[in-house]
Structure 1
Amino acid sequence: MVSTHLPKLVVLVTCFNRKDVTLEALRALPAAINNSFKSQLVLVDDGTDGTSEAVRNEHPEAILVKGSGSLFWNGGMRLAWQTALALSPDFFLWLNDDTTLRPSAIADLLKEYRHASNPRTIVVGRTIDPHTRAVSYGGLVRSRIVSRLNFRFLTEQETECHTMNGNCVLIPAIAAKEVGINSENYRHAFGDIDYGLRARRLGYGIIELKQPVAQQEPNQKFEASIGSLTLSNWRFITTNAKGIPWREWYRFCYEFGGPLWPLNFAVRYLKILRLR
């Protein structure tokens, strides 16, 4: 019998039309938690492929929220978090619906949090590419002195992050009060990095669990879609949530780029510009 003194965790997930992938990730949760939390799942289903019904069959205790169909990652996670606030947990977990966690991964995130000297600490799970063994998602640090918006993954020796990818992140409940939830200013790709930078600005520590929490390939399709700015795709790149939408990129650069933010804003597009 699970102890009633376990901390309460709410797992936040958003999904869009990949039912089998989502179910696989959710099936791994009990082993990943490994009796370290009392847990509750809040899932936003932004698609139409019957994911909600399938999740309800396997996880009848889950709180399911129907999306608008155009929430994308950050919008879906924001809605999940808004829903979860009333549950008053001790921790929240961001989890991508395509991140299938290894056994005890979430329990290990909690251990790492408890080892930290600062209760205002966010713990990031790193994932690795199963083919190359390179880091695919995880904590991020600034990689250049001049630019404040150029990030890289941590080395094996580093644990402290400036921000993070949002694939698997353990966040103490107090952060929802002090930092807030995902920003309404972003639809997709900037939301996780924005949150980490806002948390650091308020004195939160962000650390990375060095043992990978999952094997996961990087989204090469996404990288390819934003790797070239041409006459044929300029509208997608500069306006679509899965491109580099100029209003969101402008806001992000202005907020976090420091004195050189206009340069950051322009160079991102110039680097991928192809005159064809």
Structure 2
Amino acid sequence: MQKTPLIAILITCFNRRETTLSCLASIESAISGSADYKVVIVDDGSSDGTADAVRAAYPDAVVAIGSGNLYWNGGMRMAWQNALQLHADFYLWLNDDTILRPGAIRDMLSKYDQENFAKTIVVGCTVDPETKQTTYGGYRRSTGLSRLRLRRLWSNEQYCDTMNGNCVLFPKTTTDDIGINSHKFTHAFGDNDYGLRAIRAGYRIVELKDAVAEQTHNAEFVKSTSTLTYANWRKILLHPKGVPVVEWWAFCREHGGPIWPVNFFWRYIKMLRLRAG
């Protein structure tokens, strides 16, 4: 008799209690009896009672409290650290604003089995509720000199070079072969970095064909990091939710290949050009 797999579901949250609870409420039907699971959630210093609400509704969940300065990658790193003691068969990154459709996690597990390759990572993509275009999911590297130009998958593609971290299933071997989220990144870059390191370590990243959730793209974040001005330079260059110089430097140096300095400077130059245009 085949053993029922255990999934450690990793979530980080901050001050959106009802959204977080809606995400948690979607998990049971998303698994559809295909696995046992344990939620490991980091509340990064919420002031709206998120942690207490999660404990009340889901007493079996592991709830850890962050410093308030973890942001996405730091929160997921802390969640993964707390989950290691569970010795789970799989780990699932899940954004707290991703409300999963019924059967979503079951389908991701099935896709993992279908690949018949132990070092497989399965990405669950999300789509815009109106346009049905992919909002978050896998990426392929574009052709050309730059190794940091990423594009969404075309309709006939399923294999990825990296991914967004909204909903991603990892086999337990990743913690030995790759580790957990890098300490070099606070908010952005952590998911893309992990995917690129996984490929380098011999892993296969595949995107599930059917979307796991409907989710709008965070247009406000894109807009806030697209232009560099006198008014916002401090946020762009220093804040975790901008394009912080130290972290962007580390990402480019790690993954940009021989022309990584060009990638590093060009992103900021392009912001100035967009403003001038």
TM-score above 0.5: yes
Contact 1:230/1:275 (8 A) holds in 2? no
**Superposition pairs for residues 31-110 of structure 1, below 5 Å?**
31-46=29-44, 47-110=46-109
Quote the Cα distance in structure 2 between the aligned partners of 1:92 and 1:141. 23
Give unpaired runs (5+ residues) of structure 2.
none
Q: Cα offset for 1:236?
A: 0.4
Shift, 1:275, TM fit: 5.5
| Alignment match, 1:256 | 255
Q: Which amino acid aligns with 1:21?
A: T
- Counterpart CA distance in 2 for 1:200 and 1:60 is 37
Aligned to 1:268: 267
The alignment-based identity, stated in percent, is 52
Question: In the alignment, which residue of structure 2 is the partner of 1:180?
Answer: 179
Cα deviation for residue 177 of structure 1 reads 1.0
| Structure 2 partner of 1:18 | 16
Structure-2 separation of matches of 1:246 and 1:7: 41
Partner AA of 1:16 in structure 2: F
Whole-Å Cα distance in 2 between the matches of residues 263 and 4 of structure 1? 51
Asked if structure 2 preserves the Cα contact closer than 8 Å seen for 1:231 and 1:275, the reply is no
1:192-203 alignment, distance < 5 Å: 192-203=191-202
Instruction: Give CA-to-partner distance per residue, 1:243-265, whole Å, 9 cap, x none.
Output: 00010000100110001101100
CA deviations 1:112-141 (Å, max 9, x no partner) are 000113110100000000121110000000
Deviation per residue, 1:182-240 (Å, 9 max, x gap): 00000011000000000100100000001000000000110111011001101100010
User: Which residue is 2:167 aligned to?
Assistant: 168
List runs of 5+ in structure 1 lacking aligned partners.
none
CA distance in 1, matches of 2:233, 2:249: 16
Q: Residues 48-69 of structure 1: CA distance to partner in whole angstroms, max 9, x if unpaired?
A: 2110111111111000000000
TM-score by length of 2: 0.97
